Chain A
Amino acid sequence: MTEFEAIKELLPGYVLGTLDPAERMRVREFLDACRGCREEIAHLTAVTERILETAVELDPAPALRGRLQERIGQPAPAAAPARPKAAAPEPAGGFWAPLWSFFGRPAVQLGMAVLLIALIAANFLLWRAQERPGNHAINERGMQALAVQGTADTPEASGFILISADGQSGALVADNLPGLAPGTAYQVWLAIDEAGVLESGGLFQVDENGYGGLGLQATRPLSEFTRIGVTVEPESGSSGPTGLKVLGRDLP
């Protein structure tokens, strides 16, 4: 076995922290000269991070916030703002802000938001019971929420597409996208591979947390498209994808 092969065998342990100190040092010394090893470490690290991100969120004791301030020698902060209740989001801001702009008139907005809240709450357990990753019917009437995953370059990124029951309209909400450089935007691409169709689904920006979304624009029903992707493009948009791909998936 060559040194390269031996080091490759140790990389999962390096990422998991299971190597003994001598092995760890041996890997470290080899990394500078091994670009492939560094890339593999990045991929393996992304795996561990993806697992960690599935931790169920639990609330620490409220007093912990004050203890942190004591530790770092800062004055005690004001009490943390109450988190919004899961089933009663504010009508504007956060997640609902992009959705609010998706569906036109206020009456439609209100209806869609209420419907969405109800659907999410009512079908949550149903969702979890399904074992087809990335393809989740949201209700019996056929409205769908499809998970969208980040690419190898953006393993943190995730999101979902909502497609109406008739397949005519939909929305994309994304999270943990990389920050955009000035003058750039995220552009959605919709494709029908067999027909050689590729068209823009619209442009959107993200906030400081990489969170953003848009109502999808298309010249034909969304149900006809076979693939969706998101790339970084100039803020005025491109005629075809040119930049880094950050999200993508096949459509059922």
Chain B
Amino acid sequence: MVLVAGKNGDALTALYDRYSRFVYSISWRMLGQKHLAEEITLDVFERVWFRADAFQPEKGQLKSWIARLTRNLSIDRIRHEKIRPEMTAVSWADWFQELGSRHSSPELAVTRTLQADRVQLAIQELPAEQQEALAYAFFGGYSHQEIANLLDLPLGTVKTRLRLAMKKLAFLLFDEELG
């Protein structure tokens, strides 16, 4: 990233070769349209190029930063293009349906599959109503109020469901008891 910040084009190319599939995959899953996923992929690496100094290694790994950036830009695009909900993969079943089928190497497939199995099981541990609210928030970028309107629920109920869901996932995935 130091080289990218120094505007080394080869460094950005190397970064693209390493992470473009990851970025494209997230954005394609969230947006459900190839051309939009490609635009997001370009946006992400353009942001990496021009804002490399925004990456703070002490706060996490590069891949995590890129993942958050991808999701945030995808949600911005979803909101801007008003392409939800019909064309957005808002269900966990959609997200997990092809798990493990395509990865760049066997060891990556093994590691990712084991990790993904754990995430999928953790999601399945959540009550159905929490899964539903979380999917709207996670993939659709809906606000609390929008989710409440969609599900015809009080605002406080939506907040509670999301909080309980995230707390339980933190516990199941990392053994973290959040207050």
Q: Are the C-beta atoms of A64 and B106 separated by less than 8 Å?
A: no
Q: Are the C-beta atoms of A68 and B46 separated by less than 8 Å?
A: yes
Q: Are the C-beta atoms of A89 and B106 separated by less than 8 Å?
A: yes
Q: A50 to chain B: which residues have CB within 8 Å?
A: 115, 119, 173
Q: Which residues of chain A from 84 to 140 have a CB within 8 Å of any chain B CB?
A: 84, 86-87, 89, 94-95, 117, 120-121, 124, 127-128, 131, 133-134, 136
Q: Are the C-beta atoms of A44 and B166 separated by less than 8 Å?
A: yes
Distance in Å: Cβ of B114 to nearest Cβ of chain A: 4
**How many angstroms from the CA of A146 to the CA of B26 in the assembled complex?**
27
Distance in Å: Cβ of A217 to nearest Cβ of chain B: 21
> How many residue pairs bridge A and B at CB < 8 Å?
234
B143 interface neighbour in A20, A48, A83, A149, Cβ under 8 Å: A20
Q: Is A65 an interface position by the 8 A CB rule? A: yes
Q: Is A156 an interface position by the 8 A CB rule? A: yes
Q: Is A144 an interface position by the 8 A CB rule? A: no
Please encode chain B, from 32 to 71, with 1 for each CB lying within 8 Å of some chain A CB and 0 for all others. Answer: 0000011001100110011000000000110110011011
Q: Which residues of chain B from 87 to 143 have a CB within 8 Å of any chain A CB?
A: 95-96, 98-107, 109-121, 123, 134, 137-138, 141-143
Q: Which residue of A lies closest to B97 (CB)?
A: A56
Q: B175 to chain A: which residues have CB within 8 Å?
A: 152
Q: Are the C-beta atoms of B138 and A48 separated by less than 8 Å?
A: yes
**How many angstroms from the CA of A152 to the CA of B143 in the assembled complex?**
28
Q: Are the C-beta atoms of B118 and A58 separated by less than 8 Å?
A: no
Q: Are the C-beta atoms of A58 and B21 separated by less than 8 Å?
A: yes
**Taking beta carbons and an 8 Å cutoff, which residues of B are in contact with A?**
9-10, 12-13, 16-18, 20-22, 24-26, 28-29, 37-38, 41-42, 45-46, 49-50, 60-61, 63-64, 67-68, 70-72, 75, 95-96, 98-107, 109-121, 123, 134, 137-138, 141-145, 147, 159, 162-163, 165-167, 169-170, 173-176, 178-179
Give the 7 A-B CB pairs with smallest separation, nearest first: A147-B114, A74-B9, A54-B116, A95-B107, A12-B166, A60-B24, A55-B25
**Taking beta carbons and an 8 Å cutoff, which residues of A are in contact with B?**
8-13, 15-20, 36, 40, 43-61, 64-65, 67-69, 71-72, 74-75, 77, 80-81, 83-84, 86-87, 89, 94-95, 117, 120-121, 124, 127-128, 131, 133-134, 136, 145, 147, 149, 151-152, 155-156, 158-160, 173, 175-176, 178, 209-210
